[in-house]
Chains A and B, each alone.
Chain A
Amino acid sequence: MTTWLTAAAVLAASPAPLGATARVAGQGAGGAIFSLNIGLLLWTWVLFLLTLGILVWKVFPLIAGGLEERQRKIQEAIDSARQDREEGRRLVEEQTRELARARQEAQRTLEETRQAVGRLREELIAEAEAEKADILERARREMERERERVLDELRVEAVEISLAAAERLIRARLDTDENRRLVREYIGSIGG
């Protein structure tokens, strides 16, 4: 405490150079806490400004540069990620649209096909019907024709038979009833 007081007293009392007490400090224990050594102030300036100079000259640009570089890179990564995402979304939308379109197309094609098939079936059926009718008609005509032919043949045959019967009749010279019986018998034999 006394040292304190003396130091303060020295400071207060001495109109002498401010640095005077510095020597006291420099001489070891018992120096003043408030020793005003201008030399130390100069040293502080020199060392601090030197430090500041070196840092500004060589160090800060590197740190700031590194930070900016990283910031730029991260920003780029963010931007590109956003772009990719938008691109992806766009692609998905496009795909969805494309898919919907394709589905619609398929639906339409299916519908068309179904209609076509239906039409075709109807056509085929109609055609078949027509053909069937045609065939039937043809068959009927054929049958008609055949019947005509058979009838003709029958007629011719009947004539032939009649003639043959007549020939027999004449040959046998039988009475009418006998003749008639004979004819009937003959015809019956043919039918039998």
Chain B
Amino acid sequence: MDGLLLQEAAQDAAHAEEWGTDVMIHHIVDADVLDLGFFSVDLSPLSVAPIHIGGLEIDVSITKHVVFLFIAAVLTVVTMWLAARAAHRLEQGEKAPGGLLNAMEAFYLFLRDDVAMANIGSGGERFVPLVITLFFFILFANLLGLVPFGATATSNIMVTAGLAVIAFIVIETAGYRALGAKGYLRTIFYVPPGLNPWMGAVMLLIMTPVELIGKLAKPFALAVRLFANMTAGHFVLLALLGLIITYGSFTTASGIVAVLGPLLLGLFVMFLEIFIAFLQAFIFAMLTAVFIGLIRHAH
């Protein structure tokens, strides 16, 4: 009897191991199927043939992450629009400020005054919408991953890279516009004043690659930070829940422990994930503002 149980358990364990990486990867990566628990939506009819530009193959098919990114975009617009409508009504004296408007205003004011304006400085008004939109767009994309059957579009490196590229373009353009062509080039080719020509040349030779790497490292860090945070959280959560499958069927006692332990830990990690969803959205928006402010006041 015992032998049989053990054998089964061993089989289950082997199965679970298979399950582990497969399910985890499956959960994280993009797919052309929306897994909604009881049923799934096949997105492959919406896929289009990849476009070839030079050696580059671009597949603009609608995938799971595109759908959830779209939902995040819609949620961002709808939430802000509801707040705006409340603000409009308030302006016309129809209605006292209520819950959603208060919450959104708190976010709006914090992002505008303490994130955008504080880091960019005077003339930062132009970047306020970008910072706020970045925050809410990323926030909703992050939070959608915590919803049952949801997917985290921000745990896809190409999504975070896309956002980082936008941030990069805005940062560099802001620098160019604030410093002028000469000033902007000095952020790449910089010779400290008062250096003799020889040393200047040496400095230029050493510092130019450093400056260039510095420029590119910023968006790279933005992309990887968000991607890694969102991916890692899900891995931790899935690994914890995977423990249930791995150890849950050994004996009844171990089963109870294996179910309760990972569930409680998972709950804790879930709360942590909610916090991280806000934190990472905030960090992305904040760092974009910081970088804009840095380049506008370079040297």
Instruction: Name the one of B33, B73, B104, B157 contacting A63, with C-beta atoms under 8 angstroms.
Output: B104
Cα–Cα distance between A1 and B80 once the two chains are bound (Å): 41
Interface string of B9-40 (1 = CB under 8 A from A): 00000000000011101101111110000000
Closest CB of chain B to A71's CB: distance in Å? 10
Interface string of A149-171 (1 = CB under 8 A from B): 00000000000000000000000
Interface string of A20-45 (1 = CB under 8 A from B): 10110111111111111111111111
Cα–Cα distance between A22 and B133 once the two chains are bound (Å): 28
Closest CB of chain A to B95's CB: distance in Å? 11
Minimum CB distance partner of B59 in chain A: A39
Query: Are the CB atoms of B76 and A55 closer together than 8 Å?
Result: yes
Interface string of B59-96 (1 = CB under 8 A from A): 11111011001101100110011011101101100000
Cα–Cα distance between A138 and B252 once the two chains are bound (Å): 146
Task: Tell me the number of A-to-B contacts counted with CB atoms below 8 Å.
Answer: 188
Stretch from B160-168, B181-189, B242-250 at the A interface: B160-168
**Which B residues are in CB contact (< 8 Å) with A58?**
81, 84
| A26-B47, A44-B163 given; A65·B22 CB < 8 A | no
**Which B residues are in CB contact (< 8 Å) with A1?**
21
Instruction: Name the one of A4, A41, A44, A63 contacting B83, with C-beta atoms under 8 angstroms.
Output: A63
| A26-B32, A36-B158, A52-B133 given; A2·B21 CB < 8 A | yes
Instruction: Name the one of A30, A38, A64 contacting B58, with C-beta atoms under 8 angstroms.
Output: A38
Query: Are the CB atoms of B84 and A62 closer together than 8 Å?
Result: yes
Query: Are the CB atoms of A25 and B29 closer together than 8 Å?
Result: yes
| A56-B129, A66-B91 given; A48·B73 CB < 8 A | yes
* Apart from A26-B44, A43-B66, A60-B132, 13 more pairs, CB < 8 Å: A25-B63, A26-B30, A29-B26, A37-B63, A37-B158, A39-B50, A39-B58, A40-B63, A47-B70, A51-B76, A51-B77, A65-B88, A66-B88
List, sorted by A's number, 8 A–B pairs whose CB atoms are closer than 8 Å. A26-B47, A29-B31, A39-B60, A45-B162, A47-B70, A58-B84, A66-B88, A69-B91
